[in-house]
Copies of this chain bind each other. A is one copy, B any other.
């Protein structure tokens, strides 16, 4: 079913690739020009394990864009309609990044390291190019670069138990979307309570390529009796959880409001955001289409490799961009965007899959 991936230097290996291979990775995707594992045993077996135990994920492909210098804060606010005035060092903010038309360029998590230093942990687009272009065009006093920092995620209900063994008890005191600095074998890494699952856990920002495998091995060793395994963002779990994927569920064509990210937009007060003018109207009136959870009836759907039309009485009212069978919920779970006249809870629609039309229903909440 899946085609083969031809490897090359351009599809960058990560500091953890040796560990991923030793753990028997079975599939990859490419994300920020880098290898991102997609499956170890099977997507379904990985899913059940993620929900019950603990996994270590190579998410080095979440590359960092570092802003450093007197204008770092100003530049950070130019990038996003979220009001950053209350952001303190040690906080992570999920920040929609928009261009001058309000179109989504990325949906990263930003870490405020200090008043004049931020890391932006990016989704799959070369956000560095936009940030460098803006910084140069505005002659800002800031350095913008990709540092040698590679996130490693620890996810699952046993994540606290595992992390405590490697980083000490204090790491378990981290609150959600906060980060602190923790030692490992003479190095100090930022560790955040965050991650691309709904099962809880941490992301460790590993500085220095050479420090990757020692930490990977230490986590695997320490978690043996917790049944720790190599894992990866899981297609089923992320759709159940409504975790959006840039490039899948949203693109530059979409505003944050269409993506259901209006709550992260303070368009009135985010002074300086380059997309603010473009977003003022949509912020006031609301979008005319929006991300929704969609339950697709019938047997397991095929992989969604291109948008599937959502129709009502033969007229297109939206599209599906991620879909899979959910073993726990015994239905196909999907993420799509639906026009306002059909986005209310329980609305009945038809999804045109490659295997034929399916009955489906629209939901305001995801499956978590």
Task: Please give the residue numbers on chain A whose beta carbons come within 8 Å of chain B beta carbons, in ascending order.
Answer: 2-11, 13, 25-30, 33, 38-39, 99-100, 105, 124-134, 136-138, 245-248, 274, 303-307, 321-322
Contact = CB atoms under 8 A, between A and B. Distances in A.
Given A99-B132, A130-B133, A134-B137, A7 B2 contact: yes
Contacts of A9: 247-248, 304-307, 321-322
Contacts of A138: 137
A137 B133 contact: yes
A10 B133 contact: no
Nearest to A38: B6
Contacts of A322: 8-9
A305 B29 CA distance: 15
Contacts of A303: 7-8
A138 B245 CA distance: 31
Contacts of A307: 9
13 contacts: A2-B4, A4-B28, A5-B5, A5-B27, A5-B28, A6-B29, A9-B247, A126-B126, A126-B129, A130-B133, A131-B133, A133-B134, A133-B136
A125 B126 contact: yes
B29 A3 contact: no
Nearest to A10: B247
A127 B126 CA distance: 8
A275 to B, nearest CB: 10
Contacts of A131: 133
A361 to B, nearest CB: 22
A268 B126 CA distance: 30
Contacts of A305: 7-9, 11, 13
A10 B136 contact: no
Nearest to A245: B10
B29 A8 contact: yes
Contacts of A124: 10, 33
Shortest 8 CB-CB distances between A and B: which pairs? A137-B137, A133-B133, A10-B247, A126-B126, A129-B129, A30-B30, A129-B130, A6-B38
Contacts of A127: 129
A192 B4 CA distance: 31
A38 B304 CA distance: 22
A11 B322 CA distance: 12
Given A133-B136, A138-B137, A29 B11 contact: yes
Task: Please indicate which of the listed interface residues A28, A307, A321 has the most CB atoms of chain B within 10 Å of its own CB.
Answer: A28
Given A5-B29, A124-B33, A130-B130, A248 B136 contact: no
A13 B136 contact: no
A250 to B, nearest CB: 10
